């Protein structure tokens, strides 16, 4: 626990604050992360409705939802693939949501910074989370059928950066009582996502299909943003210390 989380000494002034134990900005960041994840999940669902029955959660890439043009696309998806017919009439919803997701993740990473002990792992973990946000925004800015090279790079940043961020942040939570019960969950989420990235890249889908494995990469990050966001939002903020007034003479 950092020194800022310890109650101030008796001689402290009324303007000083004590824990437990997050700054108000952490609550703002928590809400930002929750909104980021939920709006993206909703946007994916809406875009899938517009796509129609030809879209498969197991056999279609997530990025197919953002394809701008209708037609047979070759080598689409973050790691390439066979040519397939793609048509996503509501692609704007998905692509705009990706940009919003990326920007909110970057903002959230900045705002929740003080909820972690001041360690190098905090800086690395939150930096990786911000990089994942840049990648998510890039996925929306560079659809797979428009700028495939930039799209692949952006997807890799989001996939690897986001899950690696969780793994590092799990270490950053060590010995911090604010994260009791979440250290193992955060670390495990990142490791699951990273294993899924390797399986996805090697086309080892374990019966989940390309779309199912891709969702196994993304799901730990989105779920963590919601779960951790709710947890942080429930932690009390620093409050002014009440110092009794002394009688005047």
- Domain assignment present for residue 156? The answer is yes
- Domain assignment present for residue 119? The answer is yes
- Domain assignment present for residue 11? The answer is no
- Domain assignment present for residue 149? The answer is yes
In sequence order, which residues have a C-beta less than 8 Å from that of residue 230 and are 6 or more positions away? 30, 34
Q: How does pLDDT run along the chain (249 residues), one tens digit per residue?
A: 444 444 444 443 433 433 357 888 999 999 999 999 999 999 999 999 999 888 999 999 999 999 999 888 765 455 455 567 888 999 999 999 999 999 999 999 999 999 998 899 999 999 999 999 999 999 999 999 898 999 999 999 999 999 999 999 999 998 888 888 899 999 999 999 999 999 999 999 999 999 999 999 999 999 999 999 999 999 888 755 555 555 665
Distance CA 28, CA 36 (A): 12
- Domain assignment present for residue 52? The answer is yes
- Domain assignment present for residue 242? The answer is no
- Domain assignment present for residue 246? The answer is no
Enumerate helices (H) and strands (E) in the chain, giving the number of each: 6, 4
Number of domains in the chain: 1
Distance CA 189, CA 68 (A): 32
- Domain assignment present for residue 7? The answer is no
Output the pTM of the full model: 0.83
Query: Which range of residues forms the domain containing residue 185?
Result: 22-237
Q: Is 191 exposed, middle or buried (0-12, 13-18, 19+ CB in 10 A)?
A: middle
Please choose, from the candidates 188, 166, 205, 201, the residue with its C-alpha nearest in 3D space to the C-alpha of residue 57. 205
């Amino acid at each position: 626990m950092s020194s800022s989380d310890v109650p101030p000494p008796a001689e402290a002034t009324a303007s000083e604050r004590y824990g437990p134990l997050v700054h108000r900005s952490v609550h703002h960041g928590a809400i930002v992360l929750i909104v980021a994840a939920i709006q993206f999940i909703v946007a994916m669902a809406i875009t899938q409705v517009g796509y129609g029955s030809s879209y498969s959660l197991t056999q279609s890439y997530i990025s197919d939802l953002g394809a701008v043009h209708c037609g047979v696309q070759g080598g689409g998806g973050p790691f390439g693939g066979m040519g397939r017919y793609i048509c996503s009439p509501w692609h704007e919803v998905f692509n705009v949501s990706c940009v919003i997701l990326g920007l909110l993740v970057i903002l959230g990473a900045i705002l929740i910074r003080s909820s972690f002990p001041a360690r190098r792992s905090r800086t690395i973990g939150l930096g990786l989370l911000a990089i994942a946000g840049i990648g998510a925004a890039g996925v929306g800015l560079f659809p797979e059928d428009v700028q495939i090279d930039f799209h692949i790079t952006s997807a890799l940043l989001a996939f690897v950066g986001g899950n690696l961020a969780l793994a590092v942040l799990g270490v950053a939570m060590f010995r911090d009582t604010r994260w009791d019960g979440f250290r193992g969950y955060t670390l495990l989420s990142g490791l699951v996502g990273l294993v899924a990235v390797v399986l996805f890249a090697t086309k080892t889908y374990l019966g989940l299909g390309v779309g199912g494995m891709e969702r196994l990469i993304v799901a730990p990050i989105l779920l963590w943003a919601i779960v951790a966001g709710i947890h942080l939002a429930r932690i009390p903020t620093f409050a002014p210390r009440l110092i009794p007034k002394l009688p005047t003479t």
